[in-house]
Structure 1
Amino acid sequence: MIEENLKNVEQNIANACKRAGRNKEDVTLICVSKTKPKEMIEEAYAFGKREFGENKAQEMKEKCDGLPKDIKWHFIGHLQTNKVKYVVGRAFLIHSVDSLHLAQAIEAEGKKKDVISHILIEVNVAQEESKYGLKTEETLELVEQIAQMPHIKIEGLMTIAPFVDDPEENRDIFQKLRELSVDIDSKNIDNVSMSVLSMGMTNDYEVAIEEGATCVRVGTGIFGARDYSKK
């Protein structure tokens, strides 16, 4: 099942890139493995996948410590400051930084471990009350504050678009995130890159790619429906 699903997702990514006049190599597929057992990750790994996404700090720690070291772990969930110690030094990229308080905790842990954390700023473009993330108009100020921290490198922006039946409904969300990244990039802030746009999930990643996503986060489309019964 996983092999077939991966082939389908990869083909969809290729098709979306072709429609947008982009190179497929410019889009990273993150296999969202949250709640999934190690065996399923190993199966995707066997088919060449090396980028996996987790949303629980301790679950990511356990998987990171027990699976091949060449896996790049993406932390995509809401990160609590008291769980930062599990993520800093393990995550290839933290997608979900949305406050100065959290950034300060990541900076402190990075200083302690002598590592630089690569992060994305999470923006709640749709301003859904149920979601974390900054308002678009708050983003630049936080970027400028975090840019001063020596153990953090901002690589771009992330958003979680609303769950909709028609992915076209999210096109303007993705457009707005891309416009925000271009605007911030134009400021030429030291220690800040806007090379990564993490947007698009199983139901809307093709539209996200058409609008400039460089990372898409696909879980259900690869591993099937989530199983929250496993801890």
Structure 2
Amino acid sequence: MSNNYPQATESRARELAENYNAILSKVDKLNPSVRLVAVSKFKPSSDIMALYSIGVRHFGENYVQELVAKSQELPKDICWHFIGALQSGKAKDLSNKVANLYAVETVDSLKKCKQLNNARARNDGEVINVYLQVNTSGEEQKSGFTSEEDMQETIEYLTNDPESTKLKFQGLMTIGSFAESTSGEENHDFKKLQEFKEKLDKKYDLDLHLSMGMSNDFEQAIKQGSTSVRVGSLIFGARPKKET
């Protein structure tokens, strides 16, 4: 491995590896086919390299500018997941400047799909996996589609439009409400996403993945059918607040 990449101290690398492996063990015990995405927002590239060195390749970031910077500094076989709120004005940058962008998990409009696809097509970049974000909790502060009808036009574009050459409709994503995620019981927000999947799979002949579950609720999410969980603080530790 090249020494040109930022490196963590031995103690920090050991801490991160232990944290990651502890979470991975819990994931594997519930369902070994579930993907663990290490959410590295606000954490230095040296932290990412510490996990990269033990074979981790899927990392999640919440801010376009931070993801672009890290993707240019770190190995090109990292599979980046964009999991933050996607602004229309940033979709082009995300698509253009992150060659190894594996997935955008927060698509909530047809307009953003088209922006991602067209920017990628102009550069003849690799296909981006797309997750449609669903607002299953009904909370006003959360983004996402709210009904099957609401997302129909976007699904038609992803599955049938000949212009959509650089996007693959891989799945659905949601963020459970705090109350549901800390109840310790069946999460009704996750249940709603599973029901969306069943309807869409049948209607469009799909087999969609489900991205649901974070540090405080990933185990319950896996029990309810999640195929990808996004874990940050349990791996990397508490994050500093974003500077305003």
Structure 1 moving runs of 4+ over 6 Å: none
**Per-residue deviation at 1:172?**
1.8
SS in 2 for 1:68: coil
Is residue 109 from structure 1 mapped to residue 125 from structure 2 by the alignment?
A: no
Is residue 99 from structure 1 mapped to residue 106 from structure 2 by the alignment?
A: no
Report the residue type matching 2:113 in the other structure: A
Equivalent in the alignment of 1:180: 196
Equivalent residues of 1:162, 1:170 under 8 A apart: no
- Name structure 2 gaps, 5 residues minimum: 1-14
For residues 226 and 170 of structure 1, do their structure 2 counterparts lie closer, same or farther at Cα, with a shift above 3 Å needed? farther
Equivalent in the alignment of 1:21: none
Alpha-carbon distance in structure 2 between the residues aligned to 1:70 and 1:5: 22
For residues 157 and 194 of structure 1, do their structure 2 counterparts lie closer, same or farther at Cα, with a shift above 3 Å needed? farther
Equivalent in the alignment of 1:140: 152
Q: Deviations over 1:111-156 (max 9, x none)?
A: 2112332211000111111111110332334312333223322111
SS in 1 for 2:117: helix
> Which of 69, 87, 93 is matched with 1:62 structurally?
69
Query: What's the TM-score once normalised by structure 1's chain length?
Result: 0.88
Report the residue type matching 1:140 in the other structure: Q
Q: Deviations over 1:87-118 (max 9, x none)?
A: 22431011010011111211221221123322
**Per-residue deviation at 1:171?**
1.6
Report the residue type matching 2:182 in the other structure: D
SS in 2 for 1:128: coil
**Per-residue deviation at 1:29?**
0.3
Of the two, which has the highest radius of gyration?
Answer: 2
For residues 58-97 of structure 1, the aligned pairs below 5 Å read 58-88=65-95, 89-97=99-107
- Name structure 1 gaps, 5 residues minimum: 18-23
Report the residue type matching 2:212 in the other structure: M
Equivalent residues of 1:117, 1:152 under 8 A apart: yes
RMSD of aligned Cα (Å): 1.9
For residues 215 and 101 of structure 1, do their structure 2 counterparts lie closer, same or farther at Cα, with a shift above 3 Å needed? same
Identity over aligned residues, as a percent? Answer: 38
Is residue 195 from structure 1 mapped to residue 208 from structure 2 by the alignment?
A: yes
Equivalent residues of 2:113, 2:154 under 8 A apart: no
Count of aligned positions: 221
Q: Deviations over 1:20-61 (max 9, x none)?
A: xxxx0x100000001110111111112221100001111111
Is residue 216 from structure 1 mapped to residue 229 from structure 2 by the alignment?
A: yes
Query: What's the TM-score once normalised by structure 2's chain length?
Result: 0.84
